[in-house]
Amino acid sequence: MTELALSRGSLDRDRLLRLLQDYGVYAGVLVLLLFNFAFTPHFVSTENFRTQAVQVAPVLIVALGMALAIGTEGVDLSVGSVMALATSLLSLYLGYGPWIAALTAVIGGIVVGVANGALIAFVGVQPIVATLALMVAGRGLALVLLPQLKDVRDPGLASLGSGDVLGVPYLVLIAAVLAVLVAFVMRRTTFGRQVLAIGDSRPAARLAGLPVRRVLIVVYVCSGALAAIAGVLATARLTASDPTSLGNLMELSAITAVVVGGTPLTGGRVRIGGTVAGAVLIQLLTTTLIKHDLPPSWTQIAQAVVIVLAVYAARERGRR
Amino acid sequence: MTTQTEEAGMPADTASPKDDDPGRTNRSERLSALAQQHGALVTLVIAMAVASLSFDTFLTGDNLENMALSSAFLAVVALGMTFVIITGGIDLSVGSLFALGGVLAAWGSQYGTVVALLLPLAVCGLIGLVNGVLIAHVRLAPFIVTLAAMLGARGILLAITDEGSKTYLVDKDSFFATLGQGSLLGIGVPVWITVALFVLGAVVLRGTRFGQYVYAVGGNEDAGALMGAPVARTKISVYTLSGLCAGLAGALNAAWLVSGVTILGSGMELEAISAVVIGGTLLSGGFGFISGSLVGVLLLKVIQNVINQIGSLDSAYQQVVSGAFLAVVVVAQTWLGRRRRVL
């Protein structure tokens, strides 16, 4: 790709920016990987890669739902609270067996998604406010259901959290399957096209006869369900339910992953591959800083700079 | 970004035939305007009446004073937020700036009151200015810029406090501490400052050219620009103002607590936004008022106080009630706003 740009004249600024926006996140991941290969001791080990992948899985799953919401020119701030709600429901219903409990948790996420979607699609509330209300209420509800941290002792969930197939942890496998699924839906199905059309222009989509309201509700239901799945998986990995802190600031991490991955906040375009790479990039960035003994304060400042740069790159396309 | 397109998409699907009757629309428009302006106030009065009838401890001097004090800091943050939201923007960085302002003030208090006040104002105002420039000139979405500022400010806070492990203390006998702890005519100094700032804010928004620009930018940016409103300058000013308010609130809070507590302020941006929205200001911009935000803050604090009074209820219920309340207000607003917009 770079060669192509050079042959057409490297001064073509628009083209370069476009390349940066489309492939910048992959380049970023590559640079960070190379840097770590060269300068971080004990980075190249199966164990380390496993840890990184397991850590990134929940963020990635939440970011997939967020990408859909952002694709419709919306946003879902309630995802962190949905994770907390899921972990509360999971440990409340664990007595009925892990599958029923996990199912209940996901249903909880779907209910929140329906509420979000109904507020946005039928009442016409802006996504940021509607999901803000559910974010506040959802976290409260999670704490009402389960006031404090509780150990989750269940062999089924424990194996889900720490087991693996051929060395690949279940968590990573599930995240990968969901990413492929969402990518397929966005690329190959009518629903995916409708999401993009609505994100491009809601009035135009409505005039073209698309079921705008139904699509919006399904999008927020997907986002809620994916966040709940992430909550279940995170609980399984931690073998504890902690509704106070689970999913805190998750909405920010997810939005960052989506935006860094090249999905514009203005809707009409969703990049699932970029979102995956965006989540990995943030994870690698944090790891790199931590492994080189830089304090958390630096990690946060670095993350802030990356967000602004990513949005700046995305802006150029929007303006052309 | 999001807000404007939402707005643009609204009228087409909301026009219903019965709104064609001019007499009826006029009356219902006036009614809905009244409801939007004073709905929060009426709810506040009802909530306080119910609370004082239900709990003997509610309408006591101590309890009211506590509520007023704990409202004061959030109210100052909400004041800046109101300006930002009327321009159609949003500022998510205020919670971090509140904490950062508190820590800076506590650190600066060892060099005197002037430093303790000016340092947080300077730093938080500067961060607000950077937000404003990125939003107005580089044209990035307010939501994402201030999100980055929220992370960045929290990072700076951690960096100057040894990763959050160091708490700077304020000398209890210093003049700076009396700004938080002192009282005048039986009412705490922070409450006086807050009231003064709200009067000032209302005068600026209602009575000055800058206030008109704020409404013009929020109502319709392009139209505002065509009418000669300095759009970029107005936007930069409101984000700077919001940063200043958050920094000042943090400094006052540090004076009240006589220390710079590092873990404060997370989730405060949501509380402030909720208060402003409950107070009747539209998140789509162009419509709102300062007094409403004060009422919104008080309402949130009354809900919190009542839930604490019930005692048997976990404090988590407060979040459920606040969230549900916010949803109800937003639904009502959207419904009222529709009828107004149809005209």
DSSP for B320-333, please give it. Answer: HHHHHHHHHHHHHH
Q: What is the pLDDT of residues A23-71, one digit of tens each?
A: 778 888 888 888 888 887 777 787 888 888 888 999 999 999 999 999 9
- What is the pLDDT at residue B17? 43
Domain extent at residue B92: 38-342
The reported pTM is 0.81
Instruction: Give the length of chain B.
Output: 343
Q: In angstroms, what separates the C-alpha of B41 from chain A's closest C-alpha?
A: 20
Within chain A, residue ranges assigned H as helices are 2-7, 13-39, 46-71, 79-92, 98-118, 127-145, 155-162, 170-188, 190-200, 202-207, 212-238, 250-260, 272-291, 296-319
Across chain A, mean pLDDT equals: 84
Chain B, nearest residue to A295 by Cα: B163
For chain B, count helices (H), then strands (E). Answer: 14, 2
- What is the pLDDT at residue A180? 94
Q: What is the pLDDT of residues B272-317, one digit of tens each?
A: 888 888 888 877 777 888 888 898 898 888 888 887 777 666 667 7
Does residue B25 belong to any structural domain of this protein? no
Kindly report the backbone phi and psi dihedral angles of residue A232, in degrees, each rounded to the nearest multiple of 5, phi listed first.
-60, -45
Does residue A43 belong to any structural domain of this protein? no
Does residue B2 belong to any structural domain of this protein? no
Give me the amino acid identity at B327.
A
Question: Look-up: residue for tokens 């941006």?
Answer: B269
Does residue A26 belong to any structural domain of this protein? no
Residues 6-45 of B with CB under 8 A from A: 6, 8-10, 12-14
Does residue A219 belong to any structural domain of this protein? yes
CB proximity B339 to A under 8 Å: no
Alpha carbon distance B134, B136 (integer Å): 6
- What is the pLDDT at residue B238? 93
Does residue A36 belong to any structural domain of this protein? no
Does residue B311 belong to any structural domain of this protein? yes
CB proximity A269 to B under 8 Å: no
pLDDT band at A113 (very low <50, low <70, confident <90, very high): very high
Domain extent at residue A284: 57-319
Alpha carbon distance A232, A91 (integer Å): 10
**What CATH number is attached to the domain comprising A245?**
1.10.3470
Number of domain units in chain A: 1
Where is pLDDT greater, at A77 or B3? A77
Average pLDDT per consecutive 10 residues, chain B (343 residues; last block may be shorter): 38 41 60 70 82 78 81 91 90 90 86 84 92 86 85 86 76 75 78 89 88 83 78 90 92 84 78 85 81 87 80 71 80 68 41
- Burial (CB < 10 A; 0-12, 13-18, 19+), residue B6, is buried
Residue B121 · residue B252 · CB < 8 Å: no
CB proximity A128 to B under 8 Å: yes
Does residue B170 belong to any structural domain of this protein? yes
* Inter-chain touch A265–B273, beta carbons under 8 Å: no
Task: Pick from A33-47, A163-177, A220-234 the range whose average pLDDT is largest.
Answer: A220-234
Does residue A11 belong to any structural domain of this protein? no
pLDDT band at A268 (very low <50, low <70, confident <90, very high): confident
Number of domain units in chain B: 1
Does residue A179 belong to any structural domain of this protein? yes
CB proximity A294 to B under 8 Å: no
Alpha carbon distance B246, B81 (integer Å): 9
Which residues of chain B are within 8 Å of residue A128 when distances are taken between CB atoms? 2-3, 90, 143, 283
Alpha carbon distance A259, A317 (integer Å): 13
What percent of chain B has a predicted confidence (pLDDT) above 70? 85
Q: Distance between terminal CA atoms of chain B?
A: 24
Does residue B24 belong to any structural domain of this protein? no
Alpha carbon distance B8, B221 (integer Å): 13
Alpha carbon distance B48, B305 (integer Å): 10
**What CATH number is attached to the domain comprising B284?**
1.10.3470
- What is the pLDDT at residue B8? 39
Does residue A42 belong to any structural domain of this protein? no
- Burial (CB < 10 A; 0-12, 13-18, 19+), residue B22, is exposed
* Inter-chain touch B134–A139, beta carbons under 8 Å: no
- What is the pLDDT at residue B26? 66
- What is the pLDDT at residue B24? 55
Q: In angstroms, what separates the C-alpha of B215 from chain A's closest C-alpha?
A: 20
Query: Does the pLDDT value for residue A129 go beyond 60?
Result: yes
Look up residue B48 and give its two tokens: 């306080």
